[in-house]
Amino acid sequence: MLLAYFDLVNHFKPLIPSTILHKFLLYLATMAANISPSAFEKEQIFGMAEKEMEYRVELFNKMTQTCFKKCVDNRYKESELNMGENSCIDRCVSKYWHVNNLVGQLLGSGKPPM
């Protein structure tokens, strides 16, 4: 059972911040062990999961808007992205996710930024 928990942690780790991840996976583990969490705990867990989903959608929308404005010429000469626009978007998205992960790690560690 514990091994399955750690497999789930490793599988979902890039997608969900650690506190939400652990609470959600503990919820799944208790369900698998037939230990029923209280209604309040269920509500808390699903509320946190809903907030996380809203955050991810908002993050994706902001990233899309930011990278589109930065990289795509608003004259739309071609129906598809050219090589330069494609390359710019790839770099922009990569940097956006990298910075987002760094901020998440800083906030999760509880250490003040240097």
- pLDDT one-digit tens code per residue, 46-99: 888 888 888 889 989 999 999 999 998 878 778 888 899 999 999 999 999 999
- Please measure the distance between the N-terminal and C-terminal CA atoms of the chain and give it in whole angstroms: 40
Q: Is it the case that residue 102 has pLDDT exceeding 50? A: yes
Q: What is the mean pLDDT of residues 101-114?
A: 76
Residue 101 Cα to chain centre, angstroms? 9
Q: Is it the case that residue 1 has pLDDT exceeding 50? A: no
Count of CA atoms in the C-beta half-sphere (13 A) of 77: 4
Say what the pTM is.
Answer: 0.55
Query: What pLDDT is stored for residue 84 in this prediction?
Result: 92
Report residue 9's pLDDT band, with 50, 70 and 90 as the boundaries. Answer: very low
Pick the CATH number of 2-109 from 1.10.287.810, 3.40.1280.10, 3.40.50.10210, 1.10.1060.10: 1.10.287.810
